[in-house]
Structures are given as C-alpha cells and as structure tokens.
Amino acid sequence: MWYTTLFRPTQNLMDKLATESNIRIPERGLHCTLWGFASDEEREKEVIEALRNITICSFATEVLGFDNFDESSYVIRLKNVEELQRLHSEILRVSRAFDRDTTKFDTMAAKYGLERYNPHITIAKTVLSLSQEYKGVSMEIEYYSLLKKKNGIWQSVADFNF
C-alpha cells in the first residue's frame, strides 16, 4: 500500500489559486508532500501511532515564488523553515521503519530527502503566468495528514495536529 504524508496550503491561498486559470488540482488536492512510503496495510495503526508521537509545534512558512520543478510541473516554492525541515526529517525517520523496501527507500531519501527536501505545491503541468502577489504570502501549518492509495484512489487515513 502506498502512503503519503502532506500538508495543505491555507484556505486563503487555496481560494486565491482557485481564481487562476490553468491551475491543475492534483487528485490529492493542493498539497505539499512531506514524504511517501510503501507499507503493509496491516501495520497502519502502528504507522499512525508512530506519527502521532512526533512532537512539533505549529509553524509558518511562506511562498518564495514559482518555478518549474521538472519538465512537467509548475510549482509554488515554499521556504524550508527549520520546523518544516524537522517535521520532514522526523516523518522520514518514522516511515523508514515501516517501509517494505528500505533499499529503495534509502535511494529515494538520498535523492529527495533530508537536506535535499524541496517543499513545493504543484499547481500545473505547464508554465503559467501568475502574479508575484503570491510571493511572501505566509502560511500557518497547524497539522499534516496521512493518506493511502487504495484501488487507485487516495483516501484520508489520519490528521495529526500540532
């Protein structure tokens, strides 16, 4: 079973983006991925408990601007504040303990995790012309979520408040 941890932008930012043309809302909704991993569904309660044990306070991050993330994604770049980096690192630590293939997990972590973590919100499959009014917009992050992909559909599993 594929699991992902993520947080969502503030309602204010989501409402602003909803007025833009050509925004592509991913099937998981607008979000910033913290980390994904493959685990057995039978261990889901253990995963939830381990994630609940992460202690971190709510924090603010801000929009840095827009960028091409790869050849097919246009993203909102977010400031990787210390608390966000710490949350990402803790989720990485916890999720590795439950991942089915730690070799693959470690390869992905070396490529995209820890100091290489690049927080962003994917908003389109093409370059957009968006106003710079978004730059510097602050977002208070008060919780994150665990989702799983079952039968091709993303389902909410748990929310974790700070």
pLDDT digits (tens, 9 = 90+) for 64-111: 988 877 777 788 899 999 999 999 999 999 999 999 999 999 999 999
Using one digit for the tens of pLDDT, what is the confidence trace for 106-120? 999 999 999 999 999
**How much is the pLDDT for 122?**
84
Q: What is the largest CA-CA distance in the chain?
A: 46
Contact predicate 39/150, CB 8 Å: no
Domains of the chain: 2-61+80-118+140-161 (3.90.1140.10)
| Phi, psi values for residue 89, rounded to 5° | -65, -40
Contact predicate 60/81, CB 8 Å: yes
**How much is the pLDDT for 16?**
82
Q: How far apart are CA 148 and CA 37, in angstroms?
A: 10
Contact predicate 5/146, CB 8 Å: yes
Q: How far apart are CA 115 and CA 99, in angstroms?
A: 20
Q: How far apart are CA 117 and CA 79, in angstroms?
A: 11
In the block, tokens 């690049």 appear at 118
pLDDT band at residue 36 under the 50/70/90 scheme: very high
User: How is residue 56 written in tokens?
Assistant: 């971190």
**How much is the pLDDT for 126?**
62
Contact predicate 81/56, CB 8 Å: no
Q: Strands, E, within the chain: which ranges?
A: 2-7, 32-38, 59-70, 73-78, 120-124, 138-141, 143-150, 153-161
Please state, as a whole number, how many other Cβ atoms lie within 10 Å of the Cβ of residue 132: 9
| Phi, psi values for residue 24, rounded to 5° | -110, 115
